[in-house]
Amino acid sequence: MSETPHIDIDYVANLARLDMSAAEKAKLGSQLDDILGYFEKLNAVDVEGVEPMAHAHRVFNIWREGDEPGETYAPEVLTKMAPEQRDNQVVVPKVVE
């Protein structure tokens, strides 16, 4: 993080499965580099021995109590939002050769 930070947008966009135009990438690129530059502030603080914090409260091992079957949905209720559906199933483009 010592050099000027820079995001390789093509590489990261592929990781994020996100299609963007060349114009979008160009605009985003300079903005993101500014933001990463701002993140450099974090290097000024000593975090040696500090426990990372993922959550506001120390809660662990949350078990479900009495996991009884409850209200459920008819298949057509949940599949009707799919962009394409047939016989209560979600249709997708062909994914195997």
Q: Which residues bind another protein (CB under 8 A)?
A: 1, 7, 9, 12-13, 15-20, 24, 28, 31-32, 34-35, 38-39, 41-42, 45, 47, 50-57, 59, 62, 64-65, 73, 77-78, 81-84, 90, 92-95
Q: Rounded to the nearest whole angstrom, what is the least distance from the CB of residue 80 to another protein in the complex?
A: 8
Which of 1, 27, 22, 25 is CA-nearest to residue 12? 25
Residues 6+ apart with CB under 8 A from 89: 79
- For 85, phi then psi, to 5°, come to -145, 155
Q: Rounded to the nearest whole angstrom, what is the least distance from the CB of residue 88 to another protein in the complex?
A: 13
Asked if 5 and 40 touch (Cβ cutoff 8 Å), the reply is yes
Q: Rounded to the nearest whole angstrom, what is the least distance from the CB of residue 4 to another protein in the complex?
A: 14
